[in-house]
Copies of this chain bind each other. A is one copy, B any other.
Amino acid sequence: MRNIFRLFPLTGAPILSIVLLFTACSRETRRVETPHPTFGILIHAGAGSISKESLKPEREAAVRIKLAEAVMTGHRILQNGGTSIDAVEATIRILEDSPLFNAGKGAVFTSEGTNELDACIMDGRTLKAGAVAGVKHIKNPISLARLVMEKSPHVMMVAEGAEKFAVEQGIELVDQKYFFTQERWDSWQRVRQREEQRDKEQKRPSGTLEQGIGTERKYGTVGAVALDKAGNLAAATSTGGTQNKRFGRVGDCPIVGAGTYANNRTCAVSATGTGEYFIRLNVAHDISALMEYRGWTLEQAANTVIKEKLTKLGGDGGIIAIDRQGRIATPFNTSGMWRAHVLGPDGKVVVDVF
């Protein structure tokens, strides 16, 4: 500034005003360009046919409280300068530990009366990912997925093999009983009775294929996506899969690019719904590709993939996503999707379902 005064001793003050005004304007411009918080976390706890009438007040309150607790835990990590990977893992662990959701404790039952869990985590900075599928004795599958990502040369491990790796990594196995909840058991009994009845009426041998997907579908999968203060994105998803599932079925949750994806160039995505359609459409990677290759916004890309492509193919569900500017999208084509977010430093928690 001194040079300005020296050059124009009389007009210094007006010039200073202009400079200050210009500085203010360019700050304003910057604010307009990035009106979004520079960090944040967004979670889901499944999409499905949820109606206002069907929601029991006590259950709704319990879900809202647990979602708020989980998302606030992740937000606190980000607030304190922690990584997005740490935030999504810690958040998912809370949801896995709650019997309210179809992940970890509270997982649905397979056709054999067991609980088989899948999980996936991905780091948008390195494009590293870890996934496990069909594990039966892991309390927090998301943490095992993270160990696969960080402590093995692999991306995906399944069934007993994944559990052997867990033991080698010092993870204690839990008994299948740990995952039991009366509510899921009763729900599974109802489905089995209905299907036995149907098989009898249609004179089919029991256990034919339609049981594979199960009729009483609950998409209680949980997921989290986050952007940390360093600008790194991460995504994580965990699920007990589809009720009454058979044949070692694997859904989209542990498939990188289908149910889970993170890439610092674009966004982080976690999905929930009829997994087969999400796999066939590579839903999570497709949203990223539309942003990167077409230059679309997160909202355009996410809406197109869920509300157009997925719907056209016949799939149900939704996704949560956050981009590198902290903008979020939560499209779903079902009547509801449980979700919550906290963006930026103000700490305001938003929980929503419809």
A binding-site residues for B, Cβ under 8 Å: 127-129, 133-134, 151-162, 164-165, 168, 207, 209-210, 212-213, 246-251, 255-258, 261, 275-276, 279-282, 285-286, 289-290, 293-294, 313
CA distance in complex: A165, B246 (Å)? 8
Q: Which residue of B133, B134, B168, B280 is within 8 Å of A127 (Cβ)?
A: B280
Note all chain B residues with C-beta closer than 8 A to A255: 156, 255-257
CA distance in complex: A157, B246 (Å)? 9
Tell me the number of copies of this protein. Answer: 2
Q: A152-B209, A157-B247 are in contact. List 12 more A-B contacts (CB 8 A).
A: A129-B280, A133-B250, A134-B158, A134-B161, A152-B212, A155-B280, A157-B249, A157-B250, A162-B248, A164-B247, A168-B207, A257-B257
Note all chain B residues with C-beta closer than 8 A to A257: 255, 257-258, 279, 282, 285
Q: Are A247 and B212 in contact (CB under 8 A)?
A: no
CA distance in complex: A130, B158 (Å)? 17
Q: Are A158 and B158 in contact (CB under 8 A)?
A: yes
Known: A256-B258, A285-B285, A286-B285. A156 touches B279 (CB 8 A): yes
Q: Are B247 and A129 in contact (CB under 8 A)?
A: no
CA distance in complex: A78, B104 (Å)? 48
CA distance in complex: A204, B22 (Å)? 64
A123 to chain B, nearest CB (A): 10
Considering only CB atoms, which chain B residue lies closest to A313 in the complex? B127
CA distance in complex: A320, B282 (Å)? 20
Known: A128-B280, A129-B280, A281-B127. A249 touches B289 (CB 8 A): no
A260 to chain B, nearest CB (A): 11
Q: Are B285 and A159 in contact (CB under 8 A)?
A: no
Note all chain B residues with C-beta closer than 8 A to A279: 129, 155-156, 256-257
Note all chain B residues with C-beta closer than 8 A to A313: 127
4 nearest A-B pairs in the assembled complex, by CB-CB distance: A161-B248, A289-B289, A293-B293, A257-B282
Q: Are B249 and A154 in contact (CB under 8 A)?
A: yes
CA distance in complex: A275, B313 (Å)? 28
Q: Are A250 and B153 in contact (CB under 8 A)?
A: no
A130 to chain B, nearest CB (A): 10
A143 to chain B, nearest CB (A): 16
CA distance in complex: A246, B248 (Å)? 19
Considering only CB atoms, which chain B residue lies closest to A289 in the complex? B289
Known: A133-B158, A256-B279. A153 touches B247 (CB 8 A): no
Note all chain B residues with C-beta closer than 8 A to A152: 209, 212, 247
14 contacts between A and B (CB under 8 A): A127-B281, A133-B158, A152-B212, A153-B213, A154-B247, A155-B276, A158-B248, A158-B250, A161-B248, A165-B246, A257-B282, A257-B285, A293-B293, A293-B294
Q: Are B248 and A153 in contact (CB under 8 A)?
A: no
Known: A127-B281, A285-B286. A248 touches B157 (CB 8 A): yes
Q: Are B153 and A134 in contact (CB under 8 A)?
A: no
Q: Which residue of B127, B134, B293 is within 8 Å of A159 (Cβ)?
A: B134
Q: Are A156 and B249 in contact (CB under 8 A)?
A: yes
Known: A250-B157, A285-B285. A280 touches B293 (CB 8 A): no
